[in-house]
Structure 1
Amino acid sequence: MLTFFRNFFKTKIGLALALAFLVLIGFAFASMDVSNSGAFGGVAGGNSVAVVGDEKIGTADLNSAANNALQRTRQQDPEATMQTLLAGNGLNDVLDDLINRYALIAWGEENGLRAGTNLVNSEIRQIPAARGASGDFSTDSYNIFLRTNGLTDAELRQQIRTSLFFQQSILPSVYGSKLPDSIATTYARSFKERRFGAIATIPATLFAPQGDPTDAQLNKFYTDNRDRFVRPERRILRYATFDSNALGDSIEPSDADIAAYYRSNGDEYAARELRSFTQLIVPTREGAQAIAARIKGGESFAQAAASAGLRTTTVDAQEKAEIASTASAAVADAYFAAAQGTVTTPARSPLGWHIARITNVDSQPARTLASVRGEIADQLREENRQRGISELAVNIEDRLGDGASLSSVAEELGLDLQTTKPVTASGSIYGTQEQIPEVLRPVLNFAFQADENEAQIGALPDGQTFLVYDVSDITPSAVAPLAQIREDAIAQWRQVRGEQSAKAAAERIVKRVEGGQSLAEAVAAEKKNIRAPEQVNYSREELARLQNTRVPAPIALMFGMAKGTVKKLEGQGDQGYYVVDLDRIELEDLAENDPLIAQARSQVGQAWSAEYGEQLLNAMRADVGVERNPDAIAAVRRQLLGEPN
C-alpha cells in the first residue's frame, strides 16, 4: 500500500513537485560539492552568473558545480554526458542548487544563525574515516579521507557549514509537520475508487516510412538532433598491481629484532600460573568463616552457600594479577596459597569476604627464546609486511604527486604495465560488450575524473593489493560525424517520423472521441490497422499490490484524469503514443478507523513537509534578493558544451 503512494505522487493529482523538492533539499545541502570561487578566464558575459544578497556566484562556481553534477549523474548512468545533463533546463537546475545554498547561508547569517569554526571542527572529528586506530581524530586519516573523496579541507568545511545552516533553519520548519485529517481522509478515500476506461496503443513503427530520406532531409535531421548522436567519452587506461611481494626480503625479521621483541615482551613468555575456582562473597567475616567450617565439616560448597541464602560463581583460568585487580591483593594471595581442591581462607575485598574452592591449577613453565622464535618471527614478519606495504604505497603516492610517471614507478618495482582498449564510463570496451578487467572496476569513477597522464594509486578491496594507473588517452564525448553513423541516423529518422505520424494519429483519435465517438470507433476510423483499444478497470488498492512493479504510464495517467475525458500520452523512446479514455469512477465507502487514513497521513505528510521547506527557501531567496546574469549563464553553457563563444 505504501508503495502505491510513492507511485501515486507521480500522477497529476499527486504531489510530485513536493517530493522532488524534498529529495533536492537533502541532496543539495547535505552532499552538494562546493567549488572554489575565482575568475573564469576566457568566458564572455562577466565573472558572475548570479548575485545572492551581497555574495556573487562566479562562472567558475557554476562550471565546477555542473561537472560535479555530471559525476553524480554518472553514478546512476555511467554513460551520461554533459550534453544530456544540460538538455532542457539542466544548467538552470544546477544554478538553482547553488543559489539555494548561498541564500540559505546569507539568510542564516542575517538572522543570527551561526556555524563557526569550532562547530565545524566538532563535526569533522565525528567523521569515522577521520579517526585513527585509537578511535581519536587523526590528521593522517583525515587527509586520506579528503584525498579519497576528492575534496580539499576548505571544500569539506564549506559543505559542513552549509549543512549546519540547513539543520538550523530548514529542518525545524519541516520537522513534526502534520497533515490535516481532512486531507489525509481525502487521499485515503481515493484508494477505494475504481476506474473504468480504455487504452489505445499507437506504435510509431506502424507509421514509420519504409524508404530512405533524401540527403537534404537526413542532413537537416542530423543537424536538428545532434544530441541523439553523441558518442560517450572514451579513455585508455594503463595500470599495474602490486602487493607485499614487491617488498622482497625486507620484511624478514633479523635475529636481533626477534631477541629484542622477546625481551620487551618478557612477561608474555615468563612462567605463570592460572587458577580456576568456584567462589562465594559473604557480607561478614564471621559468615564467611561459618561457611568455610561447614564445608570442612563435609558439606559441599554449593550446599553451604545455599544454606546461607547465597549463590556461587565459577571463574576459569585467571592469573594472580587479574584477581588482585578485580578483587584485592589479599583475595589473590588467599586464592594462590590454597592447594587444588581445597577451600581458601576468607579474605576481604571492597565487595565483602571471599572464600573459594580451587578447582584447577595450571602451572606453565617459562618459554625460552628458542621455543617461541618461529612464533615471534611470524608476528614480526606480518607487522613488517603491513607497515612496509603501507609505507611503499605512501611513498609511491608522494612520488606520483611530485610528478613521477607511471612507467618509471612500474619499472622500478618490476611491475607488468598493461594497457586497455578505449573504455567507457560504464566499464565496457567501446563498441563491444566486453567489460574492463575486474581489477579496474573499483577505480573506474576516479579514472574518469583524472587528467591525462596523471598517475594515481589506489587500494583494492582486499586491502592487500594496490593498483597504480593513469589515463594515457582521452577521447571526449562528441557528436559522431554523419558519414560514420549514416545507417543509424537513417534508422532514427524513420523512428522519429513514425513518432510524429503516431502523434498526429493520436490527436485525430482524441478529437473524434471528444466529438462523441467511442474510442474503438475513433481508432477504427484510422487508415492504418491500429489494434483495438484494451478495456481496463483498476482500483488503487489493486495497483498498490503490484509492490515494486512500476505502474504502466497509461494506467497512471488514467488515475490522474477527470471522468469522461480523453488524453494522449507519449510513449518512451520514440515508441509511439497512447490514447487513454476514462469512462467512469466508482467510489467505495471509507470507515472512520480505516488504516488507509494513517498510511495516507504518513506518506502524504512527507510531501506536506517538503512544501514547508520549499516555501521557506523561496522566502529566503526573496528576502536576501537574487539576480541572474543570463549572458554569463549562456557563456558557461557554451564552454561546458565545447561551443565557440
Structure 2
Amino acid sequence: MISFIRSLINSKIGAVVALMFIGMIAVAFALGDVSGSGNFGGLSGGNVARVGDRNITLGELNDALENRLKAERQDNPTLDMARFVESGGLDSTLEQLINRYALAEFGEEYGVAVSERLVGSEIRKIPGAMGLDGKFSAEAFRAFAQQIGISEQAIREDIAQNLFAQQLLPTAASGPMAPDGMILPYASLVLEQRSGQVASLPSSAFFPAAPPSEPVLAKYYKDNAVKFTIPEKRAVSYAIFDKTIIAARAKPTSADVAAYYKANAAKFAASQSRNISQVIVPTEAAAKSVVAQASGGKSLAEVANGLGLSVTSVNDVTKSSLVNSASSAVADAVFSAAQGSIAKPARGKLGWAVVRVDKVNQVAAKSIEQARAEIESELTKSRSEEMLTEMTSEIEDAFADGSTIADMAKQNGLKIETSPKLLANGRNIANPAYKPIPEMQVILPAAFQLETNGEAQLIEIVPGERFAMIAIADFEEAAPPPLASVRAIVQQQWALAEGAKGARAAAERIRKAVDSGMALPAALAAANINGAQIEAINGTRADLTRQGQPIPPPLAMMFAMKKGTAKTLQGGADRGWYVVSLTDVKKGDASGNAEMLRARKLELSGLMQNEYGAQLVGAAAKAVGVDKNSDGIAELRSRLTNRDGN
C-alpha cells in the first residue's frame, strides 16, 4: 500500500501538492486506519466540522490523529498524544481534513471530473488488489480492504479526494517565476549584517525565598501535567529465531543426494570449456579477411587494431553459455576447433565472430561420492529457505487465527523472553542502567505499533534470515506520576517558573531603559542582577538559513528589530530571559552575485507558487462553507491532554 501512495505522489503531483495535501492521505493509507470507526468516549458519533454538504466525524478525526502521531513517533519515539496535541497537532490535523474535503466539494461544484472509472483505474494499481496472475481481482481487493480495516467505499472516497487535488492544485501552483525586479532587494537582504548585544537574566536570580504551599504545588502540577507526563511504556514478550532452527530438518538424506545426482547427471558428467579470444566484424567478407590475415602470420590483436576494433578474451566458456551469448553456429564452430587454432567464422547476435581457441579445458566427471558435499550444501540451502518460508507463513497464519506467542513458541521449541516496561526509545525508567538487547532496535518500533490486547506478530530482524515473534506482555499508558514520587522535581520546576516571572519583569525594565537611550551594559549594571551576563553578537541573514547549524534565538531576534531598539526574549524551559539590543546594521549588496540571484529567484518563485496553492485551498474552503463544532473540539482537546482531571 505504501508503494501505491508513493506512486500517486511521485507520478502525478509535484512537491506543492505533497506538502499541502497529499501527505495527509499518504499517512492515512500507509497506516491503514482511515475507517472513521474510532471514538472519544461520550463524544462518539458526533461531528467536529461540516464542509459543504459533508461532515467530518469525531471518529475520522480520531483516526487521523492516531495516524499523525504514529508518523511523528518514527522520528520522536517518546512523543505521546497529549504533547502532540499541545504542540498544535490537533489543529493542523483538523485543518488538513477540512482542506481535503473542501477541495473535493469545490471540484465537484465547478465541474472537475473524477469519475468512478477513473477511481477504478487507480484502484487497479494497488498491489494488494492484484490476483495471483498479476491482474486486478475484485476478490483480492475486498480481502485487501478487510486486511487493513477499511471499507471499500472509504478507499474509493480517499482516492477520489486525491484525484481532485491532483487536478486542482498543480494548476493553481503553476504560476510565473518571480519578476527580476523583486529579486535583488531580497537577495541583498541575505547579505545584510547586524551586530548588537544580548543580556541573559537567569531565573535563579529571582527564586522565591520560601517553598510553595501544598495547594500551590498541587495546582502547579495539575496545570503542567503534560510537562511531567511519562510516555507510554511497554513490556514485550519475544522469541527470536533464525534459519538454524530448521537446519536439522533440512539436512538431506542419502536418498535425496542420489535423486539430485541422477536428476542433474549432466552437471556432474565430464565436460569441456574453452578459453577464447574473439573479434566481432559486421560482414562475412570482413570475417574471412581477418582469418586470412591471422593465418598469414599476424596476431589477432594486430588485425583487429588495423580495423579499429579490439579483441575480447573470455575464460572457461561452455558450449551452452556460448549458445546463449552468441549463437548455435558460433558455439559449434568454436567447439569444433582445436586448441591454438582459429575457428571457422560464424554469425552471432552482434555480427560475425572470428574466434581463436586459446585453451581447451577438460573437466573430469564426478562420482556421487565426489559430488556429495556439493549436493548436500545445495540441497540444505534450498530446503532451508523453503522450510523457513513455510514455517514463517504457518506462524503468521496461526497468529491471524488467534494463536498466542506461547502456543507458537512451544510448537517450535523456542524460549520466550520478556523485557521490562520500556519507553519507545528503549529506556527503562525503573532501571537507568538497563541496556536492551541489540534486536530491540527492530522489536520496539514494531511493538509500539501493536494493539495492547496481546495479539502476537511475526517480524523480521534480518530480512530472510532472522525473525522474532512478539507480543505486548504489559503496558502503562502515558500519564504523569503521583506528585509524591516527583515532588523534588516539581518543586524545582515551580521555582524556575516563578523565577522566570521575575526575570521577565526585570528584562522588561531593562528594555525600556535601552529604548529610552541608555546603553544595554549600563542598564544591566543598574539592575544589579545576580548571575546576569552580557555578550556581543553579530551575523548575517545567511546565518539564519544555514542548514545543519542551530541558530541562537537572540541572533534570530536581532533580524526582526529596528536599529537602536531592544526586545525581550524567553530563554526556554523557564531558565531565564534575554534582552537583545541592535546597535548596527550594514546593508548587503547582491548585485554582482549572479549565483545568489539565481538561487533567490528560484526560492521566491517556489514560495509564490506555494502561496497560490494555499490561496486556492483557502478559497475553496470559503466557497463551500466550513462550520466547526467548537465545543466538541474543545472537549476533545481537553480529553486528549488530560485537562479535565480524568
2:534 counterpart of 1:538: no
Distance between the aligned counterparts of 1:267 and 1:134, measured in 2?
34
Tell me, which stretches of 5 or more residues in structure 2 are unaligned? 1-14
Match of 2:24 among 24, 28, 35: 28
Cα distance in structure 1, aligned partners of 2:218 and 2:500: 19
Amino acid at match of 1:469: I
Distance 2:425 2:139 in 1: 32
String of CA shifts for 1:335-370, please: whole Å, max 9, x gaps: 322221223334456766554332222233443433
Q: Which moved more, 1:132-141 or 1:430-439?
A: 132-141
Which residue matches 1:278? 277
Asked if 1 retains the 8 angstrom alpha-carbon contact of 2:69 and 2:84, the reply is: yes
Question: Residue 391 and residue 139 in structure 1: after superposition, are their counterparts in 2 closer, same or farther (change >3 A)?
Answer: farther
Secondary structure of 1:581's aligned partner: strand
1:44–1:631 CA contact under 8 A, matched in 2: no
Q: Contact (CA 8 Å) 2:34, 2:150: kept in 1 or not? A: no
Change beyond 3 A, Cα 1:132–1:598:
farther
TM-score by length of 1: 0.85
Cross-structure match for 1:387 = 386
Aligned residue for 1:191, secondary structure, equals helix
Mapping of 1:144-163 within 5 angstroms?
A: 162-163=161-162
The question of 1:568 aligning with 2:568 is answered: yes
Residues 556, 389 of structure 1: alpha-carbon distance in 2 compared, 3 angstrom cutoff: same
**1:485 maps to 2:481:** no
After TM superposition, list the pairs within 5 Å mapping 1:27-66 onto structure 2: 27-33=23-29, 35-38=34-37, 40=39, 42-44=41-43, 47-66=46-65
One-letter amino acid of the counterpart of residue 449, structure 1: Q
Match for 1:559: what amino acid? F
What is the DSSP-based 3-state SS (H/G/I as helix, E as strand, rest coil) of the residue aligned with 2:73?
helix
Residues 207, 138 of structure 1: CA spacing in aligned structure 2 closer, same or farther, 3 A cutoff?
Answer: farther
- Please show how residues 182-197 of structure 1 align to structure 2 within 5 Å: 182-197=181-196
Letter in 2 for 1:217: V
* SS of residue in 2 equivalent to 1:457: strand
Quote the offset at 1:196 in angstroms: 3.1
Unpaired segments ≥5 residues, structure 1: 1-18
Q: Secondary structure at the match of 1:533?
A: strand
In the aligned structure 2, how far is the partner of 1:586 from the partner of 1:42? 59
Please state how far the C-alpha of 1:554 moved relative to its aligned partner: 0.7
Is contact 1:45-1:632 (8 Å) kept? no
Secondary structure, aligned partner of 1:427: coil
* Residues 313 and 441 of structure 1, relative CA distance in 2, 3 Å threshold: closer
Aligned CA distance change for structure 1 residues 408 and 284 (closer, same or farther; 3 Å): closer
Matching residue of 1:95: 94
Q: Which residue does the alignment assign to 1:520? A: 521
1:162-187 C-alpha deviation (Å, 9 max, x unpaired):
55544433234335752222332112
Tell me the number of residue pairs that the alignment of Structure 1 and Structure 2 aligns.
626
Distance across 2 between alignment mates of 1:447 and 1:160: 30
Residue aligning to 1:447:
447
Equivalent residue, structure 2, for 1:8 = none
CA contact (8 A) 1:520 1:532 kept: no
Query: What TM-score, normalized to structure 2?
Result: 0.84
Q: Secondary structure at the match of 2:569?
A: strand
Alpha carbons 2:27, 2:71 under 8 Å: kept:
no
1:303-353 Cα distance to aligned partner (Å, 9 max, x none): 556677766544443333444455544443333222212233344567665
Q: What one-letter code is carried by the residue in structure 2 that aligns with 1:570? A: Q
SS of the aligned residue for 1:504 comes to helix
Q: CA deviation at 1:117?
A: 7.5
User: CA contact under 8 A between 1:101 and 1:162: conserved in structure 2?
Assistant: yes
Instruction: Name the residue aligned to 2:457.
Output: 456
For CA contacts below 8 A with separation 6 or more, give which structure has more relative contact order.
1
What secondary structure does 2:56 align onto? Answer: strand
**Identity over aligned residues, as a percent?**
35
Q: Determine helix, strand or coil for the equivalent of 2:500.
A: helix
- Tell me if the contact between 1:423 and 1:436 (Cα under 8 Å) persists in the aligned partners: no
* Secondary structure of the corresponding residue to residue 439 of structure 2: helix
With over 3 angstroms needed to count, the CA separation of the structure-2 counterparts of 1:515 and 1:353, relative to structure 1, is closer
Task: Write out per-residue CA displacement over residues 254-283 of structure 1, whole angstroms, 9 at most, x where no aligned residue.
Answer: 334333333443443343322333345566
Q: 1:274 to 1:136 in 2, by over 3 A?
A: farther
1:407-466 CA-partner distances (Å, limit 9, x unpaired): 222223232222222211221012443343222221212312321322222110364221
What is the distance in 1 between the residues matched to 2:147 and 2:381? 26
Q: Which amino acid in structure 2 is aligned with residue 358 of structure 1?
A: V
CA contact (8 A) 2:38 2:63 kept: no
Are residues 130 and 224 of structure 1, via their aligned partners in 2, closer, same or farther at CA, if it must alter by over 3 Å? Answer: same
Higher mean displacement: 545-554 or 121-130? 121-130
Report the more deviating stretch, 575-584 or 269-278: 269-278
